[in-house]
Structures are given as C-alpha cells and as structure tokens.
Structure 1
Amino acid sequence: MSWQLGPEDLPALALGATLLGTGGGGDPHIGRLLVEQAMREHGPVTILDPDDLDDDLLIIPTAQMGAPTVVLERIPAGPEPLAALRRLEDHRGRRAAATMPIECGGINSMIPLLVGATGGLPVVDADGMGRAFPELQMETFSVYGVPGSPLAIADELGHTVLIDTGEDNRQLEWLARGVTIRLGGVAYIAEYAMTGRQVKDTAVPRTLSLALSVGRAILDARRDHRDPFAALADAFSRTIYTHIRELFHGKVVDVERRTTEGFARGRARIRSADGDGELEISFQNENLVAIRDEIQLAVVPDLICILEEETAEPITTERLRYGDRVRVIGVSTPALMRTPEALAVFGPRCFGLDREFVPVEDGPGGEIAGTADARMEEWEQTPVR
C-alpha cells in the first residue's frame, strides 16, 4: 500500500533516522531542510511498500557518499543526487520507476526523498543496510547478488563520473571513494539499479516507516512527559528489530576523531556516574563495537546508539563531545543481516576488528522495559502515514 510523506513528517523521520544511523550516516538536519523546501515547492512524496512493486520495475537507489565531518562544512546544493540518477538512467537507456535509500540512517534517509520531490519519483520503503554502514559493498543488495555497478557520481559543480566494475562491489567502493575524495570529500551517487523482484528479495523492508515510528515515539514521549527509552522499546518491539538493550550510562570523558581516507574514524570513552567503569566505542563513520572492561557488549552489524540521557536525542559521531551525559543502547538487526553471507560483508572482521559477532541480546546488558505484549518474527505492521 502506498502512502504520502509530507513536510510535517520530516522532523520525526529525521530524528528516527539519526538513531538508526548508529552515530553515522551524516546528520539528516541539512537534508531535512532541503526536502522540506522541495516538498513545499513540488508537493509530498509517494512512498511505495516493497511488497507492492511489480517484478520488472526499475528501481535506482540514491545516496550521499563521504565523511560526515565534511558534510557539516560542505552542505549540498540540492540538485546533485538527481543529477547522478539522470546520468545513470541515460547510461542504461531506461528511466527509473522509483528511487530508494541505500541506508535508512542519517542523511541518506533524506536524499532519496529529495530526489523523489524534485524528480517526481516515488520512493520505496526499504533500504540495503537496515542502519548505516560506511562502505558501498556493505549492503544486503550486495550480499544477495545485486551488482552495484554501474554507479553514477555527481557534485554541486555539475561534475559527473560513471564507474563500472562489473560485479566487483569492493572495487566499486574503492574507486568511488577515491573520486569522492577528489570531489572534496562528499558527493552524491546512484547505484545498485535493480528490479522490483530484486528489491523484494534483497532489501530490508519498511525502514522509512521504522525511522518515522521511532522518531514519533521519542517526540510523543517527550510531549507527554513519559520515558522516551520505554517508548523506543515499544516502537522496536513491533518490528523485525526484536531486541533493544541498555549497554551503559555515563559521561563522555574523551573523544578521538579524525577524517582520513574519506571516513570519520576514532573512538569515544564514556565513564559511569559512579566512576567504577568505562565504556569504549570505536567508530568508522558509525559506531562499530562497544567494550566495557575488555568485555564486548555489542558489535556491528547490531546497532550501537549513543543517546542524550534524558531526552533520548541521538548523538552522531561528529557531534559527540566531552561532557555529554548519555545512555548507550544496543539494537538487534534483522535476521537477513546476520546470516554467514551477510557477516562476511559487514561483520566485525570486515572493519579490521579481531572479534566474532555475538548478538546483542546474548551479551551483557539489560532489556529496556516497554509495554508491548509480544515481539513479531515478521514485520507485518501497517506502514505509518
């Protein structure tokens, strides 16, 4: 079932997408402002449920690529992602029926909406990461056999580049990263062109709806003076993200951050309020692993989210600062992101971590209490309107 997304939905969507970005994905605030302006000019965007797609439709995902730290200083002009889409359409000799996020976290939840509003295209309610990841091959599309090539890349000066590496998605990432660096550290891409059948077979479903419901849960809890963390537990319990746990509670005492090789890399240390323990989080754009006293509490691909301790406002890696008082939560990823094939593409060792994946629900930490009666094995929730 299709539904309409309008400007009034964007604050909640941006908030939920920031949380799903697990510290990375780029701050969606700038993207939200661009989408809001485009919607006020062109109207709302139609969101398509993936199950309703005809098998032979052409879907072309669009996204921003680069280091989140650069985006804070080099904001998009607006036309870049649509230019990348048009370049790829011209190369293929066929127009896309819709666009779609490659990741549901951060600014890349907004880029396809910008393309949809300015290009008159619907947007599919699904993505290829179920969160945010730093590299292009780290997508369920790639895991389950969709080639990312050819990829079109564009910047705000009108430059476009087409990259074709056949079925080698790792080589595609390497070349596209190099072009992005030379375009100033951030650029806009269209890639993983696929059929409607491939979307249904390989994408994480209804993640725009997820971001919207997560954002609304936090905002509604704040308005009603309820616990936003319990509201989050309720919101996730009705999805294929079946567990949410509190991993740590304390104050940020150190942040080491650098922009290198097209990524924001570093680590953060958080000290407990009573001073008897510290949590260290390592990140590459996104939070990758959380370790307390040499004990692994959560690791990629599960979500590790740093939230302000009272409001549950997500804090991205580029905005994390000394003195922030935070709660760190872990969220389980869907089953299709935990298969051996998936872990071979975006598991811990793919980030240079000498660690095994242990599901967050099987490690230390406490379940955050909610009020939902049961958890669903399949997400059959009606899309949020």
Structure 2
Amino acid sequence: MPSPTTTAPAQDTVAAPDVAALAAGTAIFGTGGGGAVYTSQIVAEEALRANGPVPLVSVDDLGPEDLVILMSGIGAPTVGIEMLSSSGQIELLVREAEAAAGRPITTLMAAEIGGSNGVGPVGWASRLGLKLLDADGMGRAFPDAAMVAMNVAGVPCEFSVLSDVVGNVSVIKTVDLHWLERHARALTVASGSICLGVHYPMTAETARGAVVEGTVGAAIRVGHALLSSSDPVAAVADELGGSILLTGKITDLDRRTVGGFSRGSVTIAGTGADRGRLQRVEIQNENLVVLEDGEVLVSVPDNVTIIDAETGHAITTEMLRYGQRVSVLAWACDPIWRTPRGLELAGPRAFGYDLPYTPFGGADR
C-alpha cells in the first residue's frame, strides 16, 4: 500500500466541513504530540465559516511570485491545553515575517501535520487570506526544530519569528537549526512554555523535494476513515498500512513537564487476546519507542500513536490517564527519515536512546 503522505491530494480546497476529519487525522499523525486538536478544530471551523474555504495547493502549483512559510505552535502540549493564543498574534507574526523576508507571504505550510499544529494553519490561512500548501515539514510530529525535512534536504532556514500571548516578538537568525531549537525553546519557556512561530521561508524552487507532500489530504482521508467506519481502529490501521501492536489498559504513567517538553513513559497491560502481554512506550512530547519483554518493537522515526480502543481517536501524551482502554498503532515513517541524514536528525540516538534503528513494516513504502 502506498504511503498516504505521498498520495496526490484528493481536493483543492479545505472548507469548514473538512475540519473534523482533518483534526481526527492530524491527531493520529501527531504520534502523541503536536497538541490536542479540540481547540484548534473549533477555531479553524469558525475561521473557515467566516472567511470561506482555503485553497489547497501542491508544490507544483506554486509560481515564482509565491513565498511559503511554516507556522506552528511551539512548547509543551500540557501547557497549550490551558494557554490559548491571543487575538492578533498570527497577524503580528506574519507582518514581522514579511518584513524580514522583504516580500509578501502567499502560502502557509504546517511545520508538522501532527496534532493541533496540523489543524491551526488551516484557520490561520483563512483569516489571513493565504493559500495552504498540501505538505508539511515532518509527515508526523517531532519535538525539535531541527527535525524537519528541509533540514534533511539541506535547505537553510533564513529566519524565525516567535510571539507569545502578551505580544512579545522575537526575530531569530541562527547558524543552524540546532541553535534555533536552543534559542526558541529558551524564549518559549520564558513565555510560559507556549508560543506561536513562523520560520523557513521557501520559494517553489526550494520547497520542491524538501517537504513531505500530500499530508493535508492524507490527514483528511485518515480522519474520514476513522469517523465513517463501524470498526475505526481497523479502518485507521488499514488506511495507514500500519499494525495494531497491542490492545489493553494503561496501568502505569510517569509524565512530567521538563524544559518545555512533556517527558516520561506509559505502561499498557494487554487485555482480551493480548492478556498477559505488557508494553512500555517512551515519550518526549511524542511517542518514541515501544518495548515488550526487553525488545524494541518500533522506534522513532517510525510512527506510534496510542488510540482509544473503541473509538479509534488518538490520545495525545498530555491526555493519557491511568485505566484508559487503548490500542497501540504503528506505521512506517516517510522514506526521507530513513536516509542517513534523516536518522541522524530523528533516529533513536537523536533522542538519547542507544538503540539501532530497524525499519518498522519492512522496506520503505
């Protein structure tokens, strides 16, 4: 089955009725991170109802006059549940970005398709009257600014702009994305551990081959599969070409907010046909490694999402609770992350795990 992230878009606009499916799909692609989608869904639906559908364009649709920029939230998802963005924050960000770029921005792109960061840009594009690129920088969610496809492809980031809810704005120009992560994370922590940011201005030429294409359309398709099926867990796994590793109950949860990240682990005891099995999932905003009986079943950059065992809806790491009945869903990452540079940036060792990477699901899709 082809990877959903490389399938051609099935639509040329995103309208208010699409947002529920988009939100359900981006929650799955969030691999536990990216922030809870509920608030972003409401905001995006309201923006689209007020301003109309957003044009959804491919990289091939971009012309020489177009300038794409990534937009996202940054910080701890646990904080993002309570600290919402302020009115005027996105307009301020884009004005500062256009001043730094010296030209108008025509197109927004999600930094990550996962979670609220996959939904937010739809509403923001609608409010700003901009196009939305059917692509993102990760094909999932990652917690670090350096973990983007453009960095794998060697495209430099000219500048970044961050703003917080009280109106502080920072324009950052760093020597590489590792330094951007350090500076942006420090500013975010100083702002209460949540900010909005724009970065990575790109033309049609620089975006081509440097982004993960088709992910907005893919998220909508995954969401429709989830919302329309009588067996949503199986439907989502089938749409992604993935596998259910375990179905069971959360029996232990260790989660804390440290340095702007949600860190910890969750233990799931199998039930039903999986009774007697025990899995541990390591988290750092996202689900990173699944272990059973000391064996690594799947590890980053491949994708792991903990979903409700009945409804199929994703459960973000900040919403995990003792006693929840869940299924552990895994599927292969986009092939860009299986390259040597991709594994250097986002493989197990990039997160501090002394583990070799074994591709989940066999060969690249």
TM-score by length of 2: 0.93
Find the aligned partners of 1:185 and 1:89 in 2 and give their Cα distance: 25
Matched residue, 1:343: 343
**Which of 262, 265, 270 is 1:267 aligned to?**
265
Post-superposition, which runs of at least 4 consecutive aligned residues in structure 1 deviate over 3 A? Answer: none
1:353 paired to 2:357: no
- Pair 1:184 & 2:182 matched: no
Amino acid at match of 1:193: P
Find the counterpart in structure 2 of residue 250 from structure 1.
248
1:246-277 CA-partner distances (Å, limit 9, x unpaired)? 21111100111100101011100001126522
Shift of 1:357: 1.2
Deviations for 1:341-384, whole angstroms, at most 9, x for unmatched residues? 10111111010011111111149xxxxxxxxxxxx96xxxxxxx
Bigger shift: residues 350-359 or 111-120: 111-120
Q: Is contact 2:233–2:309 with CA below 8 Å preserved after alignment?
A: no
Distance 2:58 2:142 in 1: 23
Q: Check conservation: 1:66, 1:180, Cα contact below 8 A.
A: yes
Question: Once the 2 structures are TM-superposed, how far is the Cα of residue 34 of structure 1 from its aligned partner?
Answer: 1.2
Report the counterpart of residue 101 of structure 2 in structure 1.
92
Deviations 1:210-261 (A, max 9, x none): 110000001110xxx3x2233224422xxxxxx4112111110011110010
Aligned equivalents of 1:11 and 1:179: distance in 2?
32
Q: Is the 8 A contact 1:106 1:132 kept in 2?
A: yes
Contact 2:93 2:163 survives alignment (8 Å)? yes
Secondary structure at the aligned position of 1:318 is classed as helix
Residues 127-151 of structure 1: per-residue CA shift (max 9 Å, x gap): 1100000010100011111223410
- 1:79–1:156: 8 Å Cα contact kept in structure 2? no
Report the counterpart of residue 293 of structure 1 in structure 2.
Answer: 293
1:197 and 2:201 are equivalent in the alignment: no
For residue 118 of structure 2, the aligned residue among 109, 117, 121 is 109
Distance 2:95 2:123 in 1: 14
Q: Which amino acid aligns with 2:227?
A: L
CA drift of 1:314 comes to 0.8
Which residue of structure 2 aligns with residue 217 of structure 1?
225
CA contact (8 A) 1:113 1:123 kept: yes
SS of equivalent residue, structure 1 residue 279: strand
The letter for the 1-side match of 2:234 is A
- Unpaired runs of 5+ residues, structure 2, are 1-8
**Using the alignment, how far apart are the partners of 2:94 and 2:181 within structure 1?**
18
Structure 1 counterpart of 2:236, one-letter code: L
1:39 aligns with 2:48: yes
AA of the residue aligned to 1:213: R
Partner of 1:30: 39
1:230: which partner in 2? 234
Find the partner of 1:82 among 91, 107, 115: 91
Taking the aligned partners of 1:158 and 1:255, their CA distance within structure 2 comes to: 36
Q: Is the 8 A contact 2:101 2:201 kept in 1?
A: no
Equivalent pairs counted in the alignment come to 354
List runs of 5+ in structure 1 lacking aligned partners. Answer: 237-242, 364-375, 378-385
SS state of the match for residue 298, structure 1?
A: strand
CA RMSD, aligned part only? 1.7
Counterpart for residue 11 of structure 1: 20
Q: Normalized against structure 1, the TM-score is what?
A: 0.88
Contact kept? 2:163, 2:195, Cα under 8 Å: yes
